[in-house]
Amino acid sequence: MEIAITSFSEQEMRFKWKGVNPSLANCLRRTVLAEVPTLAIEDVVVDENESPMSDEQVAHMLGFVPLTTPPDKYVFPEDCENKREDQRCRATLTLDAQAQGGIRMVTSGDLTSDDDEVKPVSTKIPITKLGPGKRLKLEAYAVLGIGKKHAKFQPVSTVYYKFQPLLEIDLERCSECGKCVESCPKGVISIEDSKIVIVNPDECTMCNECIKACPESPPAVKISHSQDTAIFTIESTGAIPSDRILEEALAIMKERFNNVKEKLMQGEAAIG
């Protein structure tokens, strides 16, 4: 198998995975969604809440604020012996906001963390509003968790894949009328030097609009997909860089596969 990165930023990564089958591709997708851990606010202690929202609603909004998650610094709550004293168990964020002259929007930017490496991904996420003179004061505790437990721990806004589209144009029967070019919503097909050419097959969504537009019978355009090459897209929430999400997901998969292999070997040894 081979992984080739086609585009990369901390927020989004796109890569091709060659030599993969649908079950393995979906295994990676589900591992990213359900198994890669991030920090999220789990417990909230409200000291004063004069907002129009209940304490539970405010806590719910805080839970969905993505937090930057440093690698290997925190452990799962179930692995902690003393949550209050062990700094690896949780990060503490405080919020103390008060409206002065008018209505104030309380945002994620009002949260202050006791760990410089743990902070809201964005300072503009709205939490609640405060009327003139009203106050919201609370202490929130962020813990490590996985998407299988709650969606707020998912490291991605989305992760998806498709198998490599394969386009073919029968140039002997193609009249080069250009109707397939006009119908393609992704600009996959173009006209260069008065000839129909495929310029960006990776962007093909297999919508078949080019086939419908072709006046030839049967159409001169044919669309299929590869059986062993998947195009993956990972869009991070910002809690973890996109490349680290992939690395951690693959490491988790490797560990799980090794565990299965070890169990099988133990079973064979017991039978033998």
State the CATH number of the domain containing residue 223: 3.30.1360.10
- Average pLDDT, integer, range 57-79: 95
- Give domain status of residue 135, yes or no: yes
Question: Does 266 map to a domain?
Answer: no
Tell me whether residue 87 is in a domain.
yes
pLDDT-derived band at 118 (thresholds 50, 70, 90) equals very high
Residues shown for the chain = 272
Q: Residues 207, 225: contact at Cβ < 8 Å?
A: no
What is the pLDDT at residue 45? 97
Dihedral angle over CA of 45, 51, 56, 62, nearest 10? -70
Residue 9: band (very low, low, confident or very high) from pLDDT cuts 50, 70, 90: very high
Distance CA 125, CA 141 (A): 18
Q: Are residues 114 and 50 in the same domain?
A: yes
Q: Examine the domain organization and report whether 126 and 180 are in the same domain.
A: no
Give 271 or 10, the one with higher predicted confidence: 10
| For residues 64-81, average pLDDT | 93
Q: How confident is the model at residue 272 (pLDDT cuts 50, 70, 90)?
A: low
pLDDT at 269: 76
CATH number at residue 90: 2.170.120.12
Q: How confident is the model over 246-272, as a mean pLDDT?
A: 87
Domain holding 147, by residue range, is: 38-153
pLDDT of residue 233: 97
Q: What percent of the chain has pLDDT over 90?
A: 80
Q: Looking at the predicted structure, is the pLDDT value of residue 86 above 80?
A: no
Mean model confidence pLDDT for the chain = 93
CA 12 to chain centre: 8
Residue 252: CB partners within 8 Å, gap ≥ 6?
31, 35, 36
For residue 183, what pLDDT band results from cuts at 50, 70 and 90?
A: very high
pLDDT in tens, 139-161: 999 999 999 999 999 999 999 99
- On whether both 94 and 168 belong to a single domain, the answer is no
